[in-house]
Structure 1
């Protein structure tokens, strides 16, 4: 038991104490609260799909005249008007409902046109004193003909005014915009749908009231979410349409793009109700907890032009497809939506399937159109009655005036007019109230035309009221017009689970498979699979390398490291995973997306990258040649640093070539600017440590310099001109005074076997006879054939065929040559001994 006491009474009044049972009081109070929440706050009406606060906002804005063709007003003004007239709750609840109806990511068809900061999926809106609003075009369809006795009105909370119990609602808002709310002991959660699809289903149901769910789902295959995205699996949707309860999975819309040196996952649409901040926070938490690997960075590049644009950069060495699958599993990029379609039907909460929701809306529209037609017919009949009286009066206007003038008072005039002209009291009063000057301006023809129009209107309205088929046709036509005015294309893609791409079998990290690292003549780096190089025929190589040339190649593995040798005598460590991977159909990095070497290593001043080398310590090491004719064999050692020197250079000297030896028995080759070629065994050079300065390699004439240094495998092809892979020497002569890259020069290709070997530190033999105007070699190269040349732009430059004369003159070229290489990568020294199939079989 409990004791309830009232306010302490005065001393002269006896105290009144009422004893009540606590359980009865709690039961009564809770039921009253629950009833209020269910029927007056949380659940929408199945007819117009609106909660009371939403309905009151739209009705108030309609009364205020805030139509789409008029200016915005302060949101606080609307909130205050709603709270003062109709809604007995706080301004916060009213403003929250107003904001939601203005958010395009919350409502499939917004009802309010907001101006200002109405928030985002992650951020709240500005205060109502800072924002402005007016009705959206869709709101006009919701409130149209509300003043034509189409819906019932009821007293407001203080019985001083009236409010509509439901809006006329020409738009099926419960299906199109969905609803969400939590009541006492029940909740509702309806998914948004496409207006055009919903109207098509409604019109089909009008023409065939017995249509089953399968027929309706041909028009409404699934929800159409405001934020787009994808819905995965349709079984749960069918359950929801049939029973009112079901669930489905939503996925973000993504694509994989190449972003500089990395791959990236670009998110353009998120699941319904998910914001970018929520996704980014979750991803960062998973990365910090080491539960999600492979993400290099995440950026939100969303703006008004591109819309949602969330970029997730993937680390090199990870498959974007597999990482995306993990993101779907661990982050809100994939979310679920549970449908619980509870709404008020005849004042009672019910769980509705798709057909039931459509039927309730159609019954409401039939009632609205019927009541509107009856109202309009009554108005037309009243006007026709007045027009008939005016036409009778106009037949003898002079007598009408005479009767009025001779009457003692207005009552007598009214009685005499009714008697003389056989008019009703309403017609007579209308004539008496009308000023004489207005009566004389009426044209009989205009009144007869209006009379004819009114009779036709009454006939049409009678047909609607008297024929159910005609009524249904009117509702169907009006729905079609609503779809034409307010309908938009579908945003959400529906996917069966069986149609999803199979990415589960893709490993997250790139396997440590064999691969090649390539350096092109234009300074591009890339990696490619071994299978693209081993087993390639000469015809395949010739067809593959048609743009730019590969000047250095190293066989390694995807998760290994390689080094790049520079003109300053340094080796820079480089991770293979950082390099872009070429597609399976290309071995040319320029064509397939190689990236400049400067993006991967830091070069100093005029330092340039010459070649690639593996970081092996079990081979004979590097052979290096400098511009001043110095040669050095470097002991194979790899310090625990990112860069280190491999040769001590003299003042003004620089490295012109470096080759990773396979056996130490190769032949080394120098070519000088004055067209001298020297070849001698590498075994004649004693290996030195990294601090060594090398030994004399070739004896230079005054003013001459080394332009090329390379090495040849003695076990490689050494046949004559019949062997396509036989080593060749390419020399390009020209004027030493010409600006770099401006002179085309003359080119000569000769078999390497035409040049005899000599001892180290000698002068060599002539390899090119200069023509008139030529005094130096602009470029030289020696390596396995066939030789390929490219211009500075990467375009191919045809070379003449190999000729027998080692000291012959060159053939004029069509354009300057910037680089020379060979497509037969496996035969080049420094390629770690891998041979092509054609070489092995030969």
Structure 2
């Protein structure tokens, strides 16, 4: 009788969660993160082990890379060959690895970003350093597990004699986490390990005196040590890397900047292209030529300067605008007992020392067992030689070998292994010289066994051995630092006065989000099927503030916008700012010295009004918060005010309130503001303006009906009231209320994106609660937005 299986219902979200967690754990352990003990990910570990298995030691000839990749794929790593080859290539690159693990022969790529040749063309073998990573692997020092198909065994970790995680670093992206461990100098790291061995209770500051910071294979400079110390304390930080440069005299009044070392993981060709692009855009001036003079003797990028150019200013601009200065994120995350863990410097060093103790313990136990077994055999042979006549007699009277072995065990009082050795003993061992060798070897083995036992039982002996082996590695592979750590005189922020040429500029912004910089207002013009909506006159030291509906402000330095010729329409805004998809620009303000002394006043859809002194928007970051918004609220308007201006708020249902801004207290950026108008249910604020005496209030609805009314009809009230009605009927809902003078023009935007100009002078003049009249001819579409156009001298 077949027993029915019970079917258990499972929620799909629970099953998906379980499957995703299993996948995440698999990626974290089997691919993306290194082990804290040997500093290797599985693919790198398998490459080294397979290469050793092929007998490709540093003293043997190279073999085709394809042969090694095939060995790895077929035996241990059932993934793509490209992934394995790319990993092997990186292990052979002296600009990627601080200490190479693979000795490559042929084209293994370049610092320019060139790819390696195909695996059928290149050859490889183990680098000398890898011998120390694989050392003692045959002495039961590490655990072996079944490979992917159960046909072979592979190591879970390599018994590394050197701290590979720190000296070569690691980077990788797992599911929900990533690691970025920078490479370090071997001599410094071993000095730190030795100090920790002798001073287990030492603090991080003491270790940092020995390990001064990361040491990258491409050299360069690290600016300041504050972030290094932070990363060593917490496991996380961000350091500033800078290329190594020098100034050379070229002629009587000319100089050149020569780059000799570049930041880690930066492609030389990309850097040159980046510098040339910034020269072309005008961000870096007085450069006559950039060329690559690198050769076998080393890297050399030459930047020729124009006559009498200030090399220090230009160099600072290059640091500011190009990857000649960049940042490197540190996140010291690695696997500890198959679990990801972010560790500080001391913890990583301690894990390595614990691992060395574990490896040496297992190796010592292996060697102890071998020595004891050998001693046991030799004692048996010595006993046989001392009783040679008896042994011969026993063997002669025995009919079969197994009988002889049994008789020897019984009559000579030896073990089975000793009896086998006696039977296998050659006659030449009976000479007196051989007998002495056996006696001497027994004495040596006794001494060796005593020493091995002392390693296992005495901590100081174990520590001394660890230190001795570390010093051997240091003597063999230790070298001087390549990366220089220099003082952070400006806390990694360059002096803007060194970077910016102070000059008057005109910035324009269009409806279709094109940004343009010129030196003359007459060069501002609308593009084809586009309109200029904002024009600012200022200097290259000012900032543009882009306020969005979510309450964020995105900052763009005006000097970062290259100068355009008169006929140009400019560049798309997304060339400069990458706005989140859920943010829309509400308004733009030029932050100059005048605005810094005035107020930036913000209104929200729920009727809140907040003003903050302009100085609060001075910042070196690219984005800041301008206002704290309630849930379901958004910013609808921005004005620059002087503290005594009158403000007008208009709502969708046609209510308006006109009050003086002095009733609104100024607050910091990170606040909500005060109530400007009391809204009826379902109503919302759609318009906000600072008014002038000669303004008109223009109201338009989605059907294109509207009117204009003198601002004088909107008497001043106290804020937070219901306000005054601006419609003659409750049937209307407005698109927008806007203030403008009679000689200004509105840009009307429909829901389909059509653009129509509407001069204020042509709008019907009525009383505040007068009727609405048709102002625009709309065909099966609605009016969506109004923008007050700036006055331009040339508007084609």
Q: TM-score normalised to the size of structure 1?
A: 0.57
State whether residues 328 and 334 of structure 1, in contact with CA within 8 Å, keep that contact through their aligned partners in structure 2: yes
Instruction: Report whether the alignment pairs 1:456 with 2:447.
Output: yes
State whether residues 319 and 509 of structure 1, in contact with CA within 8 Å, keep that contact through their aligned partners in structure 2: no
Instruction: Report whether the alignment pairs 1:482 with 2:473.
Output: yes
Q: 2:106 aligns with which of 111, 116, 119?
A: 116
Alignment of 1:93-112 (within 5 A): 93-112=83-102
What SS does the corresponding residue of 1:110 show, helix, strand or coil? coil
State whether residues 317 and 499 of structure 2, in contact with CA within 8 Å, keep that contact through their aligned partners in structure 1: no
Q: 1:32 aligns with which of 22, 26, 34?
A: 22
State whether residues 237 and 331 of structure 2, in contact with CA within 8 Å, keep that contact through their aligned partners in structure 1: yes
State whether residues 319 and 507 of structure 1, in contact with CA within 8 Å, keep that contact through their aligned partners in structure 2: no
- Tell me the residue number matched to 1:175: 166
Alignment of 1:359-374 (within 5 A): 359-374=350-365
Alpha-carbon distance in structure 2 between the residues aligned to 1:255 and 1:172: 34
What SS does the corresponding residue of 1:357 show, helix, strand or coil? helix
Alpha-carbon distance in structure 2 between the residues aligned to 1:60 and 1:217: 37
Alpha-carbon distance in structure 2 between the residues aligned to 1:320 and 1:345: 49
Instruction: Report whether the alignment pairs 1:433 with 2:433.
Output: no
State whether residues 97 and 217 of structure 2, in contact with CA within 8 Å, keep that contact through their aligned partners in structure 1: yes
Alpha-carbon distance in structure 1 between the residues aligned to 2:13 and 2:445: 65
Change (3 A) 1:397 1:60: same
State whether residues 322 and 508 of structure 1, in contact with CA within 8 Å, keep that contact through their aligned partners in structure 2: no
> How far is 1:45 from its partner?
0.5
Instruction: Report whether the alignment pairs 1:498 with 2:489.
Output: yes
Instruction: Report whether the alignment pairs 1:160 with 2:160.
Output: no
Instruction: Report whether the alignment pairs 1:295 with 2:281.
Output: no
Greater mean deviation of Cα atoms: 434-443 or 139-148: 434-443
State whether residues 325 and 504 of structure 1, in contact with CA within 8 Å, keep that contact through their aligned partners in structure 2: no
Instruction: Report whether the alignment pairs 1:273 with 2:253.
Output: no
State whether residues 87 and 157 of structure 1, in contact with CA within 8 Å, keep that contact through their aligned partners in structure 2: yes
Alpha-carbon distance in structure 2 between the residues aligned to 1:468 and 1:414: 43
What SS does the corresponding residue of 1:266 show, helix, strand or coil? strand
State whether residues 319 and 508 of structure 1, in contact with CA within 8 Å, keep that contact through their aligned partners in structure 2: no
Write out per-residue CA displacement over residues 760-809 of structure 1, whole angstroms, 9 at most, x where no aligned residue: xxxxxxxxxxxxxxxxxxxxxxxxxxxxxxxxxxxxxxxxxxxxxxxxxx
State whether residues 68 and 135 of structure 1, in contact with CA within 8 Å, keep that contact through their aligned partners in structure 2: yes
- Tell me the residue number matched to 1:625: none
State whether residues 428 and 434 of structure 2, in contact with CA within 8 Å, keep that contact through their aligned partners in structure 1: no
State whether residues 224 and 491 of structure 2, in contact with CA within 8 Å, keep that contact through their aligned partners in structure 1: no
Write out per-residue CA displacement over residues 270-319 of structure 1, whole angstroms, 9 at most, x where no aligned residue: 01111210111101211222222111111111111x21111111111311
State whether residues 316 and 498 of structure 2, in contact with CA within 8 Å, keep that contact through their aligned partners in structure 1: no
> How far is 1:24 from its partner?
3.8
- Tell me the residue number matched to 1:251: 242
> How far is 1:392 from its partner?
1.4
Alpha-carbon distance in structure 1 between the residues aligned to 2:187 and 2:307: 45
Alpha-carbon distance in structure 1 between the residues aligned to 2:397 and 2:478: 64
Alignment of 1:543-554 (within 5 A): none
- Tell me the residue number matched to 2:138: 147
Alignment of 1:591-610 (within 5 A): none
> How far is 1:172 from its partner?
0.5
Q: TM-score normalised to the size of structure 2?
A: 0.60
What SS does the corresponding residue of 2:114 show, helix, strand or coil? coil
Alpha-carbon distance in structure 1 between the residues aligned to 2:117 and 2:430: 57
> How far is 1:21 from its partner?
5.0
- Tell me the residue number matched to 1:215: 206
- Tell me the residue number matched to 1:87: 77
Write out per-residue CA displacement over residues 39-72 of structure 1, whole angstroms, 9 at most, x where no aligned residue: 1000000111110111111111122221111111
- Tell me the residue number matched to 1:317: 308
Greater mean deviation of Cα atoms: 400-409 or 44-53: 400-409
Write out per-residue CA displacement over residues 371-426 of structure 1, whole angstroms, 9 at most, x where no aligned residue: 11111011000011111111112224344233212211112211222233221110
Alpha-carbon distance in structure 2 between the residues aligned to 1:452 and 1:190: 49
Write out per-residue CA displacement over residues 309-362 of structure 1, whole angstroms, 9 at most, x where no aligned residue: 111111113111111111111111111011011101111100000001001111
Alignment of 1:751-830 (within 5 A): none
- How many residue pairs get aligned? The number is 495
Write out per-residue CA displacement over residues 192-250 of structure 1, whole angstroms, 9 at most, x where no aligned residue: 11001000111110111100000000100111111111000111111100000001101
What SS does the corresponding residue of 1:249 show, helix, strand or coil? strand
What SS does the corresponding residue of 1:443 show, helix, strand or coil? helix
Alpha-carbon distance in structure 2 between the residues aligned to 1:38 and 1:250: 29
Instruction: Report whether the alignment pairs 1:353 with 2:353.
Output: no
What SS does the corresponding residue of 1:313 show, helix, strand or coil? strand
Alignment of 1:516-595 (within 5 A): none
> How far is 1:508 from its partner?
8.2
- Tell me the residue number matched to 2:680: none
Write out per-residue CA displacement over residues 102-121 of structure 1, whole angstroms, 9 at most, x where no aligned residue: 11111111111111111012
Alpha-carbon distance in structure 2 between the residues aligned to 1:93 and 1:439: 60
Instruction: Report whether the alignment pairs 1:47 with 2:12.
Output: no
Alpha-carbon distance in structure 2 between the residues aligned to 1:89 and 1:508: 52
> How far is 1:184 from its partner?
0.1
State whether residues 316 and 499 of structure 2, in contact with CA within 8 Å, keep that contact through their aligned partners in structure 1: no
State whether residues 169 and 180 of structure 2, in contact with CA within 8 Å, keep that contact through their aligned partners in structure 1: yes
State whether residues 177 and 193 of structure 1, in contact with CA within 8 Å, keep that contact through their aligned partners in structure 2: yes
Q: 2:321 aligns with which of 308, 327, 330?
A: 330
Alpha-carbon distance in structure 2 between the residues aligned to 1:441 and 1:131: 57
- Tell me the residue number matched to 1:239: 230
> How far is 1:126 from its partner?
0.9
Alpha-carbon distance in structure 1 between the residues aligned to 2:202 and 2:332: 20
What SS does the corresponding residue of 2:489 show, helix, strand or coil? helix
RMSD: 2.4
Write out per-residue CA displacement over residues 60-99 of structure 1, whole angstroms, 9 at most, x where no aligned residue: 1122221111111111111110111111211111111111
Instruction: Report whether the alignment pairs 1:402 with 2:380.
Output: no
What SS does the corresponding residue of 1:267 show, helix, strand or coil? strand
- Tell me the residue number matched to 2:185: 194
- Tell me the residue number matched to 2:60: 70
What SS does the corresponding residue of 1:293 show, helix, strand or coil? coil
> How far is 1:490 from its partner?
0.7
State whether residues 318 and 508 of structure 1, in contact with CA within 8 Å, keep that contact through their aligned partners in structure 2: no
What SS does the corresponding residue of 1:201 show, helix, strand or coil? helix
- Tell me the residue number matched to 1:136: 127
What SS does the corresponding residue of 1:118 show, helix, strand or coil? coil
Alpha-carbon distance in structure 2 between the residues aligned to 1:199 and 1:317: 49
Write out per-residue CA displacement over residues 516-555 of structure 1, whole angstroms, 9 at most, x where no aligned residue: xxxxxxxxxxxxxxxxxxxxxxxxxxxxxxxxxxxxxxxx
> How far is 1:495 from its partner?
1.0
- Which segments of 5 or more consecutive residues in structure 2 lack a partner in the other structure? 1-6, 503-796
- Which segments of 5 or more consecutive residues in structure 1 lack a partner in the other structure? 1-16, 511-842
State whether residues 322 and 504 of structure 1, in contact with CA within 8 Å, keep that contact through their aligned partners in structure 2: no
State whether residues 53 and 97 of structure 1, in contact with CA within 8 Å, keep that contact through their aligned partners in structure 2: yes
Alpha-carbon distance in structure 1 between the residues aligned to 2:430 and 2:146: 42
State whether residues 49 and 173 of structure 1, in contact with CA within 8 Å, keep that contact through their aligned partners in structure 2: yes
What SS does the corresponding residue of 2:229 show, helix, strand or coil? helix
Alpha-carbon distance in structure 2 between the residues aligned to 1:345 and 1:508: 49
Q: 2:13 aligns with which of 19, 23, 26?
A: 23
